[in-house]
């Protein structure tokens, strides 16, 4: 299944459809032809989009399993957002709301949140429950980067 996300051009505000396999690439706005950088913010993934996103990813993917009612999840959110910016072009960051996507939470055995899963080529490379600083999350993504 082909999947794409819509990104606003920072130069002209035009909506550009970015195929999942190009989220970590640099591109060009279809309207103004200015450069569009790789994804630098977390994406909200759903049961409908999740598999397409992780299978198409050319880079490691950090998945943040969270819920709106979870205080530690809300505390981790700024770190997760900054991680996405820090790792733009080298990793993708997805957020999965476990209340809206219980089958995904079950698939990965999520029993406590926040819960972070690193995927490489669609396979689990690392998983950890609990708060973590951005520097540690970055290490998870960079481990095995040359593999």
Q: Is 70 among the residues known to form the active site?
A: yes
| pLDDT at site 146 | 43
pTM of the predicted structure, to 2 decimals: 0.92
Mark 108-145 as b/e (b = at least 16 C-beta within 10 Å).
Answer: bebeebbbbbbbbeeeebbbebeebebeebbebbeeee
**Residue boundaries of the structural domains of the chain:** 4-36, 43-142
| pLDDT at site 144 | 63
| pLDDT at site 3 | 77
Q: Tell me: the pLDDT tens digits for 19-57?
A: 999 999 999 999 999 999 999 999 999 999 999 999 999
Q: Is 29 among the residues known to form the active site?
A: no
Superfamily of domain 43-142: Glutaredoxin (3.40.30.10)
Q: Tell me: the pLDDT tens digits for 82-117?
A: 999 999 999 999 999 999 999 999 999 999 999 999
**Per annotation, catalytic residue among 12, 29, 32, 73:** 73
């Amino acid at each position: 299944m082909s999947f794409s996300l819509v990104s606003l051009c920072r130069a002209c505000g035009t909506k550009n459809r970015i195929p999942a396999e190009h989220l970590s690439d640099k591109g060009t706005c279809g309207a103004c032809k200015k450069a569009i950088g790789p994804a630098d913010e977390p994406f909200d993934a759903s049961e409908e989009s999740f598999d397409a996103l992780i299978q198409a990813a050319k880079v490691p993917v950090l998945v943040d399993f969270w819920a709106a009612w979870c205080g530690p999840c809300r505390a981790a959110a700024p770190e997760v957002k900054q991680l996405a910016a820090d790792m733009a072009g080298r990793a993708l960051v997805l957020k999965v709301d476990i209340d809206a996507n219980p089958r995904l939470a079950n698939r990965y055995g999520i029993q406590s949140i926040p819960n972070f899963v690193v995927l490489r080529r669609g396979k689990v490379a690392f998983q950890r429950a609990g708060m973590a600083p951005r520097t540690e999350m970055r290490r998870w993504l960079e481990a095995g980067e040359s593999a």
